[in-house]
């Protein structure tokens, strides 16, 4: 999918609207993970170095009532961005109005400002998230060109992406969005084979579309995590008190039939009697899970089986952890697979599809050992399903 990027347009002297994804986690007023800020830096720096006037904006959290505003102001992110850029980032605590317009008019080439959380507009009829036409036109009027670099919201048709794009002459991708298109979209279109997908997480229902789309392109799909137990049940195995979507067992049977051997399930699992970080762990064959135990992780034989297929791969896409990685004693399987892939970084392309799988490899200190870690959770899933994402579709095609 060839899309125009910020390299393809002239930005010098222009007011450049840059939609980023600065929806970063916070605790007690402190940013706990700044990966999304760091990932946006190349685009922002490029615009500034080329003499553009950068107008940066994002959503942050959910704004359902007036009290949500204070804890979800982007002012904290503007301060952190200023540190990364080593230059002032003027923050305008408004989403529209005279103060914002005046500040933009006062920008000089190579300067930057950030305006307030776009979701503030959702207090008045969800104008941002329902793509209010007037709001899209207004934000578009603030700039000369639009750079969309927010993959995390690319699956949503919002005023701050699609709405602006519909009302401005040039909409291009930033470098982060370009990477997501290249690594996820490009891999699905033309993978270096063998292509192996690893799917984990809690529910089969969250991944139905992903499984069906990957069955068309992947050579093998390795399934672990909570969703595996619905597949074990489909094979006639008892799963104890493990996470189970009973209404999806028949679907799991259908998917196994459709897969014609492409789907690989584990040989053993790690179980516990209680969902607790200190619960005693047991290793059980997948055919021998006791009635009073639940699956918490993949077992050593499964780690060996999965690792064998990964070592034969040329491309790996991973979405979803393989166990309860938040509990150290049940993070062994997820960590072992992450370490296997990290050790193969020179030999294959590894793509982490955002969400909890991204959180896991970051937690393990292995983020730098993967080719690409997506910044989108829901967007990554929908992209892996083969869906058209509005935030990408609105970017101009490269002719």
Same structural domain for residues 53 and 172?
yes
How confident is the model over 150-179, as pLDDT tens digits? 999 999 999 999 999 999 999 999 999 999
- Whether residue 1 is predicted with pLDDT greater than 80 in this model: the reply is no
User: Which residues in 146-169 are b (16+ Cβ under 10 Å) and which e?
Assistant: bbbbbbbbbbbbbbbbbbbbebbe
Residue 3's pLDDT is 96
61 given a catalytic annotation: no
Same structural domain for residues 374 and 313?
yes
Number of domains the chain contains: 2
Radius of gyration from C-alpha coordinates of the chain: 23
203 given a catalytic annotation: yes
137 given a catalytic annotation: no
Residue 253's pLDDT is 97
Mean local confidence (pLDDT), 99-123? 98
List the end-to-end C-alpha distance of the chain, in Å, as a whole number: 11
Same structural domain for residues 74 and 158?
yes
Q: Give the end of a domain, one of 178, 213, 229.
A: 178
Dihedral sign for Cα 82, 88, 91, 96, please: negative
Residue 33's pLDDT is 86
Annotated active-site residue in 110, 185, 343, 378: 378
Distance CA 248, CA 297 (A): 21
How confident is the model over 62-96, as pLDDT tens digits? 999 999 999 999 999 999 999 999 999 999 999 99
Q: Are strands 294-298 and 268-272 parallel, antiparallel or unpaired?
A: antiparallel
Dihedral pair phi/psi, residue 160, rounded to 5°: -85, 0
pTM flag (> 0.85): yes
> Closest Cα partner for 321 from 287, 349, 296?
296
Tell me what the pLDDT averaged over the chain comes to.
Answer: 95
pLDDT band (50, 70, 90) for residue 332: very high
Same structural domain for residues 67 and 200?
no
Annotated active-site residue in 36, 53, 179, 262: 36
User: What percent of the chain stands above pLDDT 70?
Assistant: 100
Residue 28's pLDDT is 84
13 given a catalytic annotation: no
Give domain status of residue 212, yes or no: yes
Which structural domain, as residue segments, surrounds residue 119?
A: 6-178
Beta-ladder partners of 115: 92
Q: Give the end of a domain, one of 178, 201, 232.
A: 178
Residue 375's pLDDT is 86
Give domain status of residue 397, yes or no: no
Give domain status of residue 167, yes or no: yes
Same structural domain for residues 165 and 312?
no
Annotated active-site residue in 355, 376, 377, 391: 355
Are 224 and 200 spatial neighbours (Cβ–Cβ below 8 Å)?
Answer: yes
Same structural domain for residues 173 and 200?
no
Same structural domain for residues 203 and 325?
yes
Same structural domain for residues 346 and 369?
yes
> Closest Cα partner for 37 from 48, 23, 50?
23
Mean local confidence (pLDDT), 281-309? 98
- Whether residue 322 is predicted with pLDDT greater than 90 in this model: the reply is yes
Annotated active-site residue in 94, 137, 203, 329: 203
């Amino acid at each position: 999918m060839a899309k125009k990027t910020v390299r393809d347009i002239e930005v010098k002297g222009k007011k450049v609207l840059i939609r980023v994804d600065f929806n970063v986690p916070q605790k007690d007023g402190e940013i706990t993970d700044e990966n999304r800020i760091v990932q946006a830096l190349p685009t922002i720096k490029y615009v500034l170095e080329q003499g553009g006037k950068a107008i940066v904006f994002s959503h942050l959290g959910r704004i359902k009532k007036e009290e949500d505003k204070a804890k979800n102001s982007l002012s904290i992110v503007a301060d952190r961005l200023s540190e990364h850029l080593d230059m002032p980032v003027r923050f305008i605590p408004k989403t529209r109005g005279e103060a914002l317009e005046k500040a933009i008019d006062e920008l000089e080439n190579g300067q930057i400002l950030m305006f307030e959380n776009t979701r503030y507009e959702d207090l008045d009829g969800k104008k941002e998230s329902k793509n209010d036409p007037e709001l899209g036109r207004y934000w578009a009027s603030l700039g000369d060109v639009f750079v969309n670099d927010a993959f995390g919201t690319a699956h949503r048709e919002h005023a701050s992406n699609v709405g602006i794009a519909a009302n401005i002459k040039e909409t291009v991708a930033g470098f982060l969005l370009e990477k997501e298109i290249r690594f996820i979209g490009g891999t699905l279109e033309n993978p270096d084979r063998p292509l192996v997908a690893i799917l984990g997480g809690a529910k089969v229902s969250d991944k139905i579309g992903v499984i069906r789309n990957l069955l068309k392109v992947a050579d093998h799909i390795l399934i672990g995590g909570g969703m595996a137990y619905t597949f074990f049940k489909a094979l006639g195995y008892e799963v104890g008190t493990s996470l189970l979507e009973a209404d999806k067992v028949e679907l799991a049977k259908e998917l196994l039939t459709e897969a014609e051997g492409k789907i690989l399930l584990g040989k053993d699992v790690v179980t516990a009697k209680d969902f607790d970080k200190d619960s005693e762990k047991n290793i059980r064959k997948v055919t021998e899970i006791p009635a009073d135990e639940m699956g918490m992780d993949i077992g050593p034989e499964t780690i060996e089986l999965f690792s064998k297929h990964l070592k034969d791969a040329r491309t790996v896409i991973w979405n979803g952890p393989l166990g309860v990685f938040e509990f150290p004693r049940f993070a062994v399987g997820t960590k072992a697979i992450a370490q296997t892939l990290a050790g193969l970084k020179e030999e294959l392309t590894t793509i982490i599809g955002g969400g909890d799988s991204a959180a896991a490899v970051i937690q393990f200190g292995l983020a730098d050992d993967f080719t690409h870690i997506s910044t989108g959770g829901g967007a990554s899933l929908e992209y892996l399903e083969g869906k058209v994402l509005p935030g990408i579709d609105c970017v101009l095609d490269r002719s």
